Chains A and B, each alone.
Chain A
């Protein structure tokens, strides 16, 4: 079957099971508050939120690839765009834009005008230094690192004589940092995504047919 083109984030969001965002927002808020109580150090909370996001990202990428019909994610630029445009929409119901690409296409900004994580949130002064939404940077980092391995059909190289397929996996190691944060007084949320290295792997793949 020929691969259909990527589906729009709106179409996927309309078709997935959705829940009341209050539950999500309040659960995240309660988790952050509990982490602040348990860990005391704001820096440590930032680290844990990022780690939680990373673990979520490496799992969500499968659902993302399956539902979005995104068949290739080898090129960093294209992948960042599709994660921002389709990924944010299909999971959080919000639009994200990608901008500020550097000349060699290895660094960009993802900008969110709207962010369900922060509904009802006001940070007390004691939380200075907290990146409240740090889970999001972790999710992006995790997703990009695992953005491979599944349905990357256009990149399959058919080696007919052995009936084996070989394809290239590319794991994108990134560094994701907050440049702007509304909770810190900025006018939008801006995440800088910097590609540190791409790790290609040759992978033998048995053709079942």
Chain B
């Protein structure tokens, strides 16, 4: 263990690693099985979220309810990862939470692999568009996995999906399992 507190790396390192990890699973391993690629990418995110949440909650008391845990994700957890908090939190008070980041960093910084964007089709523009959308959604499995892993470590099993209908905002929808 050679842990260094407060250590930093250039943001390009994280961006490059994420881009390459997603591309490895989507283009090289599971080029024709996007749902398998998605599951692997989400699983990697899950591990990361689980470990980060473990580290960030070591010295704090247990959360009393789901809302407290979700607020921790929105504030402290998000700040550690993105140097900003989640901008908007909504809930239906029945176990669904919507966490909105108005300018989600990984969508603006990560370069989408061009080979994912170029498709051969009769209608190249539509094809390219859907490929690009698919590439973007592949990238989002990672932060979804991170949130699910973090909450799972806090004893909250849930499903997490992302909504980017309002770019550059990104909303993460957390559905807590009863």
Instruction: Give chain A's interface residues, CB within 8 Å of chain B.
Output: 13, 16-24, 26-31, 33-34, 38, 48, 51-52, 55-56, 59-60, 63, 90-93, 114, 116, 118-120, 122, 135
On whether A56 and B16 interact (CB within 8 A), knowing A22-B55, A116-B7, A118-B2, the answer reads yes
Query: What residue of chain B has the Cβ atom nearest to residue A30's Cβ?
Result: B47
Which of A26, A56, A93, A135 interacts with B8 by CB under 8 Å?
A93
**Is B125 interfacial (CB-CB < 8 Å)?**
no
The answer to whether B21 and A31 have CB atoms under 8 Å apart is yes
**Which residues in B have their C-beta under 8 angstroms from that of A119?**
1-4, 7
Residue of A nearest to B51 (CB): A26
Is B17 close to A, CB under 8 A?
A: yes
Q: Which residue of B lies closest to A60 (CB)?
A: B16
B20 touches A34 (CB 8 A): no
Q: Give the complex CA separation of A187 and B12 in angstroms.
A: 28
B44 in contact (CB, < 8 A): yes
In the complex, whether B80 has a CB less than 8 A from a CB of chain A is yes
B81 within 8 A of A: yes
For A118, the chain B residues whose CB sits under 8 A away are: 2
CB-CB < 8 A to B47: which residues of A? Answer: 26, 29-30, 33-34
Residues of chain A within 8 A (CB-CB) of B7 are 20-22, 93, 116, 119
The answer for the CA separation of A13 and B12 in the assembled complex, in Å, is 11
Question: Which A residues lie within 8 Å of B89 (CB)?
Answer: none
B38 at the interface (CB under 8 A from A): no
**Which B residues touch A122, using CB under 8 A?**
1
Known contacts A27-B17, A56-B20: A16-B43 contact under CB 8 Å = no
Q: Chain B binding site: helix, strand, loop or mixed by DSSP?
A: helix
Structural contact, A17 and B20, CB atoms closer than 8 A: no
Interface centre among B13, B24, B40 (most CB of A within 10 A): B13
Alpha-carbon gap, A18 to B55, bound state (A): 20
Q: Does the CB pair A13–B44 fall under 8 Å?
A: no
- Asked if residues A92 and B13 are in contact (CB atoms below 8 Å), the reply is yes
Report the minimum CB–CB distance from B159 to chain A (whole Å).
20
Residues of A within 8 A of B14 (CB): 19, 23-24, 27
Closest to B21 in A: A31
With A52-B21, A119-B2 in contact, is A21–B44 under 8 Å at CB? no
Interface CB pairs A-B, < 8 A, 11: A13-B10, A19-B11, A20-B7, A20-B81, A22-B55, A23-B48, A24-B13, A27-B17, A34-B40, A48-B28, A51-B28
Q: Which of B13, B81, B83 has a CB less than 8 Å from the CB of A91?
A: B13
Contact between chains at B9 and A116 (CB < 8 Å): yes
> Chain B 31-46, CB within 8 Å of chain A: the 1/0 string?
0000000001001110
Give complex CA distance A22, B3 in Å.
9
B127 at the interface (CB under 8 A from A): no
A21: chain B residues at CB < 8 Å are 4, 7-9
Contacting residues, chain B, for A51 (C-beta < 8 A): 24, 28
Contact A92 B10 (CB under 8 A): yes
Chain A residues with CB below 8 A from B107, complex form: none
Name B80-132 residues within 8 Å CB distance of A. 80-81, 83, 111
Say whether A52 contacts B4, CB under 8 Å. no
B155 to chain A minimum Cβ distance, whole angstroms, is 20
